[in-house]
Amino acid sequence: MFWATQKKWFLYALGLGALLLALPTPHDLQIEAKISMTILIVSLILIIKEPIPLPAVAIFILIAQIYGGVDTVDGISKSFMSDAVFFIMGSLMLAVVIIKQGWDSRIALGILKFTGNKTAGIAIGFLSISAVLSSFIGEHTVAAIMLPIGMTLIRFTSANPSGVKNLSAVILFSIAYGCLIGSVGTPSGGGRNVIMLNYLNQAGISISYFEWMIRVYPFIFLQIPIVSWIIMKTFKPEHRILDSSVRKLVIKVARSRAITGRSTLTVLIFVFILSGWVFFSEKFGLGTIALTGVFLYLLGGFVKWSDLNKHTHWGVIILFGATISLGTSISKTGGAMWLADKLIYFLGTFMETIPFFRELVVIVITTSMSNVLSSSATVAVLGPINLNLVPEILNIGLLTAMSSAFSYFTAVAAPACTIVYSSGMIRAKDFIKIGFRVGMISILLLIAYVNIYWPLFN
């Protein structure tokens, strides 16, 4: 009985899957496509509600595709392991290495030099630094590095957290949203970007690291001041100036460990990885370069394998491999095309007559899904469908990747939000309060951005 109540969403999902399979197959849809889409719906419920462990969901996706005859064992195995999976594996391991290097105190000093002691300046400083760093090293890494800096500043301002609730919200949301905003800036900013690159490559479109940055990075600079302003207006901080707490923080970080030759070497290795991503990712893949970095850190003894093993969630890596494999199957069997056709059939008139409606549909669907699912899983699932929606495949691919970062509404969708939420200093309803405002403005900004800036490339 306990098992049944704990696994009720698993039972509902299987029931729904059985029902969908029992329904007659539309004449213009292959049976394999129908099965793969049914697996998708079942998996989405399992991923969102987590009635079974995520690795079990991954295994379910893989075996269901094989038993369902969606593809051969070889076909599924090939689509399971790709550069995107290498990258996710590498970036999760790099996060462990980077966090363990103690760069946080240097970053704290950097922020304070740059922002001064006014709360507004500090908020925009946290947001900007989080955005710029996360565009290269991933949102989860930056959130983990920035959180203690922000929390220390809050603690130095008041020992009583209830007296600085708004200040806490300002600083912590600046970190979380900064990480989200920045994570789309370059392909290495997040697994979702690499997954999209993977799908674009499958569609015969290639975009270099640098080209991605040119097309996407200005959007970050556009968002930073606006989002910072919204955060400050939503949570009016109790203190306008954080003079003494800034001084205390400077003293604390000044006392922390000094930069040694070895820590300089870790930075140099990271610069080497970054250069590899910028100049050689088209040839070798982002994942291969990330794993090269991990190899060098292990070789140099900068991190222990036991630490990497402990903090790398292998289940999530397997799940991403499985969802990418499922996305590829949906595309190969014609399911993605069929879904896109149906969407165009129902919304085509609006898409043609209402300006920007097409972008709005893609952004709203992607944003909605990324707020209940992870952003990478959203791109893995929606990517193949969205790429079939319009002829401008590159634009729609980038748009999907960018809007998948709009996970502003919930504490659970993006790791950066979950990490700051785990501090216990902000509430789940704060995410709704601010997330709605930031989300709406970001959607409007993105529509304007793609229609004003991207046409310059044609």
Asked if 151 interacts with other proteins (CB under 8 A), we say yes
CA atoms 364, 367, 372, 377: torsion sign: positive
Task: Give the binding range for other proteins (CB under 8 A) out of 9-17, 96-104, 261-269, 445-453.
Answer: 96-104
Does residue number 303 form part of the binding site for other proteins (CB under 8 A)?
A: no
Smallest gap from residue 445 Cβ to other proteins (A): 27
DSSP state, residue 160:
-
Instruction: Provide, rounded to whole angstroms, the least separation between the CB of residue 140 and other proteins.
Output: 5
Q: Applying CB under 8 A, does 305 fall inside the site for other proteins?
A: no
Nearer to other proteins (CB atom), residue 1 or residue 22: 1
| Token pair recorded at residue 277 | 């991503």
- Cβ closest to other proteins, residue 283 vs residue 429: 429
Q: Does 152 bind other proteins (CB under 8 A)?
A: yes
Q: To the nearest whole angstrom, how small is the minimum distance from the Cβ of residue 149 to other proteins?
A: 8
**Residue placing its CB nearer to other proteins in the complex, 99 or 399:** 99
With binding defined as CB under 8 A, does residue 110 bind other proteins?
no
Binds other proteins (CB under 8 A): choice among 412, 432, 441, 445: 412
- Looking at the Cβ atoms of 206 and 309, the one nearer to other proteins is 309
With respect to other proteins, which residue has the nearer C-beta, 145 or 362? 145
Residue 59 touches other proteins, criterion: CB under 8 A? no
If one counts every other C-beta atom within 10 angstroms of the C-beta of residue 240, the result is 11
**Of 13-21, 296-304, 422-430, 431-439: span binding other proteins (CB under 8 A):** 422-430
Q: Is 1 in the site for other proteins (CB under 8 A)?
A: yes
Q: Report the residue number, 156 or 356, with the smaller CB distance to other proteins.
A: 156
Stretch that binds other proteins, among 142-150, 185-193, 278-286, 389-397 (CB under 8 A): 142-150
d(CA 198, CA 211) in angstroms, rounded, equals 15
- Specify the DSSP class assigned to residue 437: H
Asked if 316 is part of the footprint of other proteins (rule: CB under 8 A), the reply reads: yes
To other proteins, the closest distance from the beta carbon of 66 in angstroms equals 24
Give the residue, chosen from 13, 40, 46, 54, that forms a contact with other proteins under the rule CB under 8 A.
54
Among 33, 35, 76, 147, binds other proteins (CB under 8 A): 147
Q: Which two tokens stand for residue 430?
A: 């704060």
Choose, by CB under 8 A, the member of 422, 433, 436, 457 that binds other proteins.
422
Cβ 163 vs Cβ 238: under 8 Å:
yes
The yes or no reply on residue 311 touching other proteins (CB under 8 A) is yes
| Of 195, 169, 172, 147, residue with least CA distance to 405 | 195
Candidate residues 64, 70, 96, 426; the one interacting with other proteins per rule CB under 8 A: 96
Q: Which of 110, 116, 121, 315 binds other proteins (CB under 8 A)?
A: 315
Cβ burial of 153 (10 Å; 0-12, 13-18, 19+) is buried
Identity of the residue, 53 or 218, whose beta carbon is nearer to other proteins in the bound complex: 53
Binding site for other proteins (CB under 8 A): 1-2, 5-6, 50, 53-54, 92, 95-96, 99, 102, 104, 140, 143-145, 147-149, 151-152, 311-313, 315-316, 374, 412, 415, 418-419, 422-424
